[in-house]
Amino acid sequence: MTALMVDTGTKPPPEREKRERFGAWRRLPPKAKVGALLLGFFILIAIIGPSLAPYDPSYQNPNPSLSLNSPSAAHLLGTTQNGQDVLSQLLTGVRMTLELAVIVGLVATAIAVVVGISAGFLGGLWDEVLSLLSNVFLVLPALPLLVVLLGYLPQKGETATILVLAFLGWPWGARIIRAQTLALRNRDFVAASRETGEASWHVIVYEIMPNEISLIAASFVGTVLYAIGASVALAFLGLADLNSWSLGTMLYWAQSDQALTLGAWWWFVPPGLVVALIGTALVLLNFGIDELGNPRLRSGSGTIKVGGKWWGQTDPTPVLSQAQRRPSRAGSFLHSFSRESLTEGPTEVAGPVP
Amino acid sequence: MRFIIRRLVFYAVAAWVALTINFFIPRLMPGSAVEDIMSKFPNLNPAAYKALEAMLGVGHPGSLWHQYVNYLNDVLHFNFGTDVTEYPAKVSSLLAQTVPWTVTLVGTATIIAFVIGTGLGILAGWRSGGWLDRVLPGLTFLQAIPYFFLALILIEVLALHAKIFPLGQGYAGGDIPGWNWQFISSAFYHSLLPAFTLIITNVAGWMLTMRNVMITTNGEDYVLAAQAKGLPHKRVVLTYAARNAILPQLSGFANALGFVVSGAIVMEIVFSYPGVGLLLLNAVTSNDYPLMQAIFLVISFAVLFANLIVDLVYVFIDPRARARSA
């Protein structure tokens, strides 16, 4: 938006500016709109929720008549077996779950960007070693490793969970960022920047990264999604600080106190539903980001009905010629171990291009 | 053949990384695991203390390198040490009891989910904008529900109230494991609900990726050419579009196996299914470190092996790969 205004040089009148802003929003795919609105709602809850909570989530009401109450005016989502207010726990839990997931997302995406861009930009042996590393981490099953790592830790607090989740959350993002960097590296504008003698970091920060923003955003959203899923699952297994209130620990206590068997659905269903809604919001947002980059994925668009049959659209833009890679000798040797070496053209296997 | 050998080398590297991580975890973590264990299990004798020290590398018998070589040697001989909870049971025999349960159920459910999801993805991608394509956002919601949450609710509704399925466990209480009809039918009956939950949570993911690849493939010139030639509709979809779209789907399948295994662990815990996942959680809650580490290794190796099989299938169905690997 701002970049657009700078380009034109003159500041558009406020009316037009307003129309442009809403225009950008209108151009968003509907799925992305729903996702963004839903996510915004939960972020708002995470920010103001704990101060809205009518009770202290940990307060155990000693009055036995308040145990396992179904929803009422005093307790909108009922009470737990210990007389704790479910709504207060939920409002506090959303903050902790989202906070943890966002921190994990930031840390893991930062690692992914550093690894992915250095692998793609530096190329050669660097690329091969870093790609090998991310492929290995991608193929190793994450949850068992998480469980074992947390099993060894004496205190299973929030910091430990964040570190462990971030440590295992980066390879997927690194892989797609590397692929995009490889494609960008030999484009003309990057070559021009290099020819003028800019330092590597300058080319990376000002030429390559701005062209990968949507990919980095998608990778961030994906990592946040993974962090929510993994942290809730780990808390459910009891591998978290069980005295704090997150959506996962709520589910842990609901399950270990047999909420469902006792018929206390108001205790068990809301946290799970909130996790599902946050997850849906993130997935829809990612759909939207994907569709912005590849309009053909939009359902319905690009197909026409002729004679009772649906016809797919042909590619409107010619495919940009694939950037040629120039792997080093050791690099091409290592590269031939990867699954991708199979699907690439024969020139790549043949070795360096003069 | 060359391709297969190279992939074998890659998996060997991955396996070595898994082994090395496994070796360093107990040596880098704070706190004394041995003291923890000894205080929990007063009936362990001093010999077990020594063995634990050696296993966890706390007593430092010999240099780190020496320990490492010994450790690799032990793993090569399937010697994962002695279990502390069910002392003196061998860890390897505990694994032998549980692995078949997990492999049978999770393997079957994963393949069924992949086949159904890919099939639906082909349909949704071909008729982009059709009704199947429009229900996708709904499926997304189904997929975003935490697996254990969905499974627990299904247990509540289908097993506890409707009594269609058993509540959990791998087989009925009175049955003795063996190759007789009664046991096998009981095991099959108990595996239905877990398999069903695994399938419905995984189908949407496969369907979505297949749909996206299909849409990209439909834009290719050869698909248009096939349509222009007037080939039957079914033939264009299956042998032109889907056949090419399935290749990236298959490597996606290999990459996602780690996630599938993670889901399976939670499944076993929810259903008290007598597999590796339940064993892992029990090991963690009882601080049974040798067992924990052995399970991690076994799961990692299983995933690597499954990846290798996917590679073999890939070579089989992609003629380019076959030509190049010959």
ipTM of the complex: 0.77
User: Rounded to whole angstroms, what are the CA distances from A47 to A60, A94, A279?
Assistant: 25, 9, 18
Q: Mean per-residue pLDDT for B285-306? A: 81
pLDDT for position A23: 60
The yes-or-no verdict on residue A332 having pLDDT over 60 is no
Q: Which residues contact A279 (CB under 8 A, 6 or more apart)?
A: A225, A228, A229, B143, B144, B145
- Cβ of residue B180 closer than 8 Å to a chain A Cβ: no
- Cβ of residue B98 closer than 8 Å to a chain A Cβ: no
- Cβ of residue B6 closer than 8 Å to a chain A Cβ: yes
- Cβ of residue B283 closer than 8 Å to a chain A Cβ: yes
Q: CA-CA distance, B158 to B164, in Å (whole number)?
A: 6
Query: Best-predicted range by mean pLDDT among A299-313, B79-93, B150-164, B299-313?
Result: B299-313
The yes-or-no verdict on residue A253 having pLDDT over 50 is yes
Q: Higher-confidence residue: B173 or A230?
A: A230
Residues 279-308 of A with CB under 8 A from B: 279-280, 282-284, 287, 290, 294, 296-297, 299-303
* Residues of chain A contacting residue B37, judged by C-beta atoms under 8 Å apart: none
* Residues of chain A contacting residue B12, judged by C-beta atoms under 8 Å apart: none
Chains A, B: CB contacts under 8 A, how many?
204
Q: What angle do CA B223, B226, B231 make, to 5 degrees?
A: 135
Chain B closest-CA separation from residue A262 CA (Å): 11
The yes-or-no verdict on residue B41 having pLDDT over 70 is no
The yes-or-no verdict on residue A114 having pLDDT over 70 is yes
The yes-or-no verdict on residue A330 having pLDDT over 50 is no
Residues 8-47 of A with CB under 8 A from B: 31, 34
The tens digit of pLDDT for each residue in B60-105 reads 556 677 777 777 777 777 666 655 555 556 677 777 878 888 888 8
Q: CA-CA distance, A259 to A77, in Å (whole number)?
A: 13
Of the given ranges (A228-232, A271-275, B38-42), which has the lowest mean pLDDT? B38-42
- Cβ of residue A323 closer than 8 Å to a chain B Cβ: no
Closest by Cβ to A272, choosing from B146, B218, B315: B146
- Cβ of residue B225 closer than 8 Å to a chain A Cβ: no
B80 and B19 Cβ atoms separated by less than 8 Å:
no
Helix (H, G, I), strand (E, B) or coil at A304: strand
Q: Kindly state the helix (H) or strand (E) to which residue A164 belongs, with its residue range.
A: helix A158-169
Residue A210: φ, ψ to 5°: -60, -30
Of the given ranges (B40-44, B67-71, B234-238), which has the lowest mean pLDDT? B40-44
Of the given ranges (A213-227, B207-221, B254-268), which has the lowest mean pLDDT? B254-268
User: Rounded to whole angstroms, what are the CA distances from A261 to A152, A252, A272, B272?
Assistant: 32, 14, 16, 16
Q: For residue B17, count CB atoms less than 10 angstroms from its CB and return exposed for 0-12, middle for 13-18, buried for 19 or more.
A: middle
Q: Which residues contact A53 (CB under 8 A, 6 or more apart)?
A: A85, A87, A88, A91, A92
Q: Do B293 and A148 touch (CB under 8 A)?
A: yes
Q: Do B219 and A315 touch (CB under 8 A)?
A: yes
> What average pLDDT is seen over chain A?
72
Q: Do A337 and B10 touch (CB under 8 A)?
A: yes
* Residues of chain B contacting residue A136, judged by C-beta atoms under 8 Å apart: 13-14, 17
Closest to B293 measured CA to CA, from B14, B57, B47, B7 = B57
The tens digit of pLDDT for each residue in A231-248 reads 888 888 888 777 788 888
A120 and A180 Cβ atoms separated by less than 8 Å:
yes
Task: Quickly state the pLDDT bin for A3 (edges 50, 70, 90).
Answer: very low
Q: Do A279 and B18 touch (CB under 8 A)?
A: no
Number of Cβ within 10 Å of residue B206's Cβ equals 23
Q: Do A142 and B257 touch (CB under 8 A)?
A: no
Q: Which residue reads 């939920």 in tokens?
A: A90
Q: Do B145 and A301 touch (CB under 8 A)?
A: no
Q: Higher-confidence residue: B43 or A180?
A: A180
pLDDT for position A104: 92
User: Computed from CA positions of residues B42, B44, B48, B52, in that sequence, does the dihedral angle turn out positive or negative?
Assistant: negative
* Residues of chain B contacting residue A93, judged by C-beta atoms under 8 Å apart: none
The yes-or-no verdict on residue A107 having pLDDT over 90 is yes
Chain A closest-CA separation from residue B180 CA (Å): 33
The yes-or-no verdict on residue A95 having pLDDT over 60 is yes
Q: pTM for this one?
A: 0.76
The yes-or-no verdict on residue B310 having pLDDT over 80 is yes
The yes-or-no verdict on residue A353 having pLDDT over 50 is no
- Cβ of residue B23 closer than 8 Å to a chain A Cβ: no
The yes-or-no verdict on residue A324 having pLDDT over 60 is no
Q: Kindly state the helix (H) or strand (E) to which residue B144 belongs, with its residue range.
A: helix B136-144
* Residues of chain B contacting residue A255, judged by C-beta atoms under 8 Å apart: 152
Task: Quickly state the pLDDT bin for A308 (edges 50, 70, 90).
Answer: very low
In chain B, the percentage of residues whose pLDDT exceeds 70 is: 78
The yes-or-no verdict on residue A264 having pLDDT over 50 is yes
pLDDT for position B314: 79
Q: Higher-confidence residue: B131 or A148?
A: A148
Mutate to test the interface with A, among B4, B39, B152, B259 (most CBs of A within 10 A): B152
Q: CA-CA distance, A160 to A164, in Å (whole number)?
A: 6
B288 and A133 Cβ atoms separated by less than 8 Å:
no
The yes-or-no verdict on residue A283 having pLDDT over 70 is yes
Q: CA-CA distance, A101 to A93, in Å (whole number)?
A: 12
**Which contacts (CB < 8 Å, 24+ apart) does range B234-243 have?**
B237/B122, B237/B126, B238/B122, B241/B122, B241/B125, B241/B126, B241/B214, B241/B217, B242/B122, B242/B214, B242/B217
Q: Which residue reads 């171990």 in tokens?
A: A337
Q: Mean per-residue pLDDT for A71-90? A: 73
Residue A305: φ, ψ to 5°: -100, 120
Q: CA-CA distance, B60 to B75, in Å (whole number)?
A: 19
Of the given ranges (A306-310, B15-19, B285-289, B311-315), which has the lowest mean pLDDT? A306-310
Closest to B150 measured CA to CA, from B211, B206, B203 = B203
- Cβ of residue B307 closer than 8 Å to a chain A Cβ: yes
Chain A closest-CA separation from residue B53 CA (Å): 15
Q: Do B218 and A300 touch (CB under 8 A)?
A: no
In chain A, the percentage of residues whose pLDDT exceeds 70 is: 68
Q: Kindly state the helix (H) or strand (E) to which residue A306 belongs, with its residue range.
A: strand A303-306
Q: Which residue reads 């975003």 in tokens?
A: B144
Q: Which residue reads 């549980």 in tokens?
A: B98
